C-alpha cells in the first residue's frame, strides 16, 4: 500500500512512519508548512521541518514539504480570531485536523496516487467498512480521539493511525531503538502560530479590536472591568477585574456586542441541558444514552443525547453539569468509540 505519512517533526509521527515502513508499505513522509509567520512552539517551526526530514532520511523514505499556508490562514487562524471576537472558545487544533490534515492532505494524497494517509495521533480506527469509528488510544494520558471527532467514513476508510495501540513510553522506546533523533523530543503543547514570547493578547491585538468590557452580576450591577471582553471565556474565574476578598465568581455569559461579562456563583454555572451543533457524525446520527466529553482531557459524563432536525443535538445531563463555553467541542462516545461531536451553543 502507498501511504503518505504526515510527519510533524515529533516522535509520534516519526514512529508512525517507521512502523509502516517496517510492515512493508511504500511510505513517503510529508511535512506541512502551515504558518508563514514566526513560530517557536507546536509543529510549525523551522526546526520541526528539519527534524522530520532527517528522520525520513534515517528511515530511507522520501520526504516532501507541502505549503498549505493559505488554507491554514483561512480555515484555522482567521476562525480563531473571529471566535474570540464573537465571544466563542476556539479550537484551532480541531480545525487544523478538520481542514488541513484530514481534508486538504488527503485530497492531495489521492491526487498523487497514494492509497491512504497516516498520522501520529494517539487514537485508533475500529469497525468495518462503512461503519468505522475513531476510538480512544490505549494510553489514556495521551488519547487524542476528542480532537478527531469530526472524521467521517470517507476519511476513516483512507486513514491509518499506527501508534494508537501503544503507550507513549512504548513509542519513545521504539524511537530510541531505531536511533531516531526525535526519541526524546518534548511534546508540543501550545497554539503553534502564537509565539510564547508574544502571547494571545499581542497576537489578537494585531488582528482584531480588543474591547474594554464591564463585569456585572445577574441584576446588572457593575462589579468591575476587563481590558478585553474578547479574552474572557465562560467559566473563567481569574482575571475578571473583581475586588478580592469576596465570594468566588465565574463568567456565566460573554456578550462582545455590549462588551459585558455577566458573573455569578459557581452553582450558577450548572445547567441541565446543552445544545450542540452543527454535529459531525462518524456515520449515522446516534441518540440515547452516551458518554459526553467537553474538553480534550476532560472526564466523560453520562447523558441522554437527542439529535434534532436542524443538525443540532440536545444533551440532557443526568446531573446538573457545568455549562460549556460556546464554541468548545462536545464529543459523544459509545464506550471508547467516538460517534460524533460539535461546538457548544450558549447555554
Alpha-carbon separation of residue 326 from 63, 87, 89 (angstroms)? 40, 8, 6
DSSP string covering 4-48: EEE--SSHHHHHHHHHHHHTT-EEEEEEEE---S---STT-SHHH
* Cell (9 digits) for 189: 503543547
Distance (Å, whole) CA 315 – CA 329: 13
Strand order in the sheet with 260-264: 222-226, 213-216, 260-264, 250-255
- Sheet strands (E) in the chain: 2-6, 26-33, 62-67, 116-118, 123-126, 133-136, 159-160, 213-216, 222-226, 250-255, 260-264, 270-276, 280-281, 288-293, 301-307, 313-322, 329-334, 337-343
Return the C-alpha cell found at 99: 481542514
Contact 125, 161 (CB under 8 A): yes
CA–chain centroid gap for 45, Å, is 19
Look at the chain and count its residues.
347
- Catalytic positions: 96, 192
Chain-centroid distance, C-alpha 252: 23
Amino acid at each position: 500500500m502507498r501511504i503518505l505519512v504526515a510527519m510533524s517533526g515529533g516522535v509520534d509521527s516519526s514512529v508512525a512512519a517507521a512502523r509502516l515502513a517496517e510492515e512493508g508499505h511504500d511510505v513517503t513522509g510529508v511535512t506541512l508548512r502551515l504558518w508563514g509567520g514566526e513560530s517557536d512552539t507546536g509543529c510549525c517551526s523551522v526546526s520541526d521541518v528539519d527534524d522530520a526530514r532527517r528522520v525520513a532520511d534515517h528511515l530511507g523514505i522520501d520526504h516532501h514539504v507541502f505549503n498549505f499556508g493559505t488554507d491554514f490562514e483561512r480555515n484555522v487562524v482567521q476562525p480563531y480570531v473571529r471566535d474570540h471576537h464573537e465571544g466563542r472558545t476556539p479550537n484551532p487544533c480541531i480545525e487544523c485536523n478538520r481542514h488541513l490534515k484530514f481534508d486538504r492532505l488527503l485530497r492531495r494524497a489521492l491526487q498523487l496516487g497514494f492509497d491512504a494517509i497516516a498520522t501520529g495521533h494517539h487514537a485508533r480506527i475500529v469497525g468495518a467498512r462503512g461503519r468505522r469509528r475513531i476510538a480512544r488510544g490505549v494510553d489514556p494520558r495521551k488519547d487524542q480521539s476528542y480532537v478527531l471527532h469530526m472524521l467521517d467514513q470517507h476519511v476513516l476508510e483512507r486513514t491509518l493511525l499506527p501508534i494508537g495501540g501503544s503507550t507513549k513510553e512504548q513509542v519513545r522506546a521504539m524511537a530510541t531503538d531505531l536511533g531516531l533523533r526525535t526519541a526524546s523530543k518534548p511534546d508540543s503543547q501550545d497554539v503553534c502560530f502564537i509565539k510564547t514570547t508574544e502571547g494571545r493578547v499581542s497576537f489578537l491585538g494585531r488582528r482584531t479590536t480588543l474591547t474594554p468590557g464591564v463585569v456585572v452580576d445577574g441584576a446588572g450591577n457593575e462589579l468591575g472591568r476587563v481590558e478585553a471582553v474578547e479574552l474572557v471565556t465562560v467559566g473563567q474565574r481569574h482575571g475578571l477585574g473583581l475586588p478580592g476578598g469576596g465570594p468566588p465568581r465565574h463568567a456565566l455569559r460573554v456578550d462582545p456586542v455590549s462588551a459585558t461579562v455577566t458573573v455569578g456563583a459557581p452553582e450558577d454555572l450548572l445547567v441541565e441541558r446543552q445544545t450542540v451543533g452543527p454535529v459531525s457524525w462518524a456515520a449515522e446520527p446516534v441518540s440515547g444514552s452516551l458518554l459526553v466529553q467537553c474538553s480534550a482531557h476532560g472526564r466523560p459524563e453520562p447523558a441522554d443525547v437527542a439529535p434534532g432536525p436542524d443538525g443540532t443535538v440536545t444533551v440532557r445531563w443526568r446531573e446538573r453539569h457545568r455549562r460549556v463555553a460556546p464554541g468548545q467541542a462536545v464529543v459523544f462516545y459509545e464506550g471508547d468509540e467516538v460517534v460524533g461531536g460539535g461546538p457548544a451553543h450558549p447555554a
